[in-house]
Structure 1
Amino acid sequence: MKDQASLGAVTDRDARLRWGVIATGKIASVVTEDLHRVDEVEVLAVSSRSQARATEFAERHRIPRAYDDYRRLLADPDIDVVYIATPHSQHHEVAKAALIAGKHVLCEKPFTLTVAEAEDLAALARIHGRFLMEAMWTRFNPLIQQLRTLVADGVLGQVHTISADFGFAHRYDPTHRLWDPAQGGGALLDLGVYPISFAHMLLGEPIGLEAHGALAPSGVDADTGLLLRYPDGGHAVLRCSLRAALDARAGISGPLGRIDLPELFFRPTELIVRITGEEPVTHSIELDGAGYTYQLREVCRGIRAGEVESPQLTHAESIAVQRTLVAAMETVGARVG
Structure 2
Amino acid sequence: MTLNWAIIGTGFISNKAIDGIKKSDGSQLYSVFGRQPDLVADFQARHDIPHGLTDLDAVLSDPALDAIYIGLPNHMHHVVTMKAAQAGLAVLSEKSLTTTMAEADALLGAVADAGTFFVEGLMYLAHPLLARFVEVLRDGRLGALRSINGYYCADIWQFVNPKGMGTLYNLGCYPASLLQLTVQTMCGDDAFGQRQLHGFGNLNNDGTVCDAACSVRFGNGVLATLHSTDSYGTGNAFTVIGDNGILSFETNPWQPIEGRSTLKWSPFDGDAELIHVEDPHDAFYHQTKLVEHHVARSDREAARPSPRHRDSWEIMEFLTTWEASCRAALTD
Same fold (TM over 0.5): yes
> Partner amino acid for 1:35?
I
CA distance in 2, matches of 1:37, 1:244: 33
Shift of 1:192: 0.5
> Partner amino acid for 2:267?
I
CA distance in 1, matches of 2:279, 2:41: 30
Other-structure match for 1:238? 226
Shift of 1:241: 0.7
1:186 corresponds to which of 149, 163, 166: 166
Other-structure match for 1:10? none
> Partner amino acid for 1:302?
H
> Partner amino acid for 1:323?
E
> Partner amino acid for 2:222?
G
CA distance in 2, matches of 1:167, 1:141: 21
Other-structure match for 1:202? 182
Does 1:327 pair with 2:291?
no
Shift of 1:287: 4.8
Q: Is the 8 A contact 2:126 2:283 kept in 1?
A: no
Matches within 5 A, 1:210-289: 210-245=198-233, 247-268=235-256, 269-289=261-281
Shift of 1:144: 1.2
CA distance in 2, matches of 1:202, 1:82: 29
Q: Is the 8 A contact 1:177 1:185 kept in 2?
A: no
CA distance in 2, matches of 1:137, 1:331: 27
Shift of 1:244: 2.5
2:303 corresponds to which of 308, 311, 314: 311
Other-structure match for 2:88? 102
> Partner amino acid for 2:207?
G
CA distance in 2, matches of 1:226, 1:205: 16
CA distance in 2, matches of 1:206, 1:237: 16
CA distance in 2, matches of 1:282, 1:307: 36
Other-structure match for 1:291? 283
Q: Is the 8 A contact 2:200 2:327 kept in 1?
A: no
> Partner amino acid for 1:187?
T
Shift of 1:197: 0.6
> Partner amino acid for 1:177?
V
CA distance in 2, matches of 1:80, 1:250: 36
Q: Is the 8 A contact 1:248 1:262 kept in 2?
A: no
Shift of 1:286: 4.5
* Structure (1 or 2) with the greater helix fraction: 2
CA distance in 2, matches of 1:211, 1:33: 36
Other-structure match for 2:20? 34
Q: SS of the residue aligned with 1:36?
A: helix
Report the identity percentage.
25
Identify if the C-alpha distance between structure 1 residues 90 and 198 changes in structure 2 by more than 3 Å, giving closer, same or farther: same
Other-structure match for 1:57? 43
Matches within 5 A, 1:75-114: 75-114=61-100
1:43 corresponds to which of 29, 32, 40: 29
CA distance in 2, matches of 1:333, 1:94: 29
RMSD: 1.7
1:177 corresponds to which of 160, 163, 176: 160
CA distance in 1, matches of 2:286, 2:157: 32
Structure 2 residue runs without a partner (length 5+): 184-191
Q: Is the 8 A contact 1:19 1:79 kept in 2?
A: yes
CA distance in 1, matches of 2:91, 2:272: 41
1:151-191: CA deviation from partner (whole Å, max 9, x where unpaired): 1222201222111111122465xxx534x2xx223111111
CA distance in 1, matches of 2:105, 2:280: 32
Identify if the C-alpha distance between structure 1 residues 292 and 329 changes in structure 2 by more than 3 Å, giving closer, same or farther: same
Other-structure match for 2:146? 160
CA distance in 2, matches of 1:171, 1:143: 28
CA distance in 2, matches of 1:158, 1:44: 49
Shift of 1:48: 0.8
1:93-120: CA deviation from partner (whole Å, max 9, x where unpaired): 1111111111110000001112232222
Shift of 1:239: 0.4
Structure 1 residue runs without a partner (length 5+): 1-14
1:243-289: CA deviation from partner (whole Å, max 9, x where unpaired): 22152111111011111113412124211112232322212235544
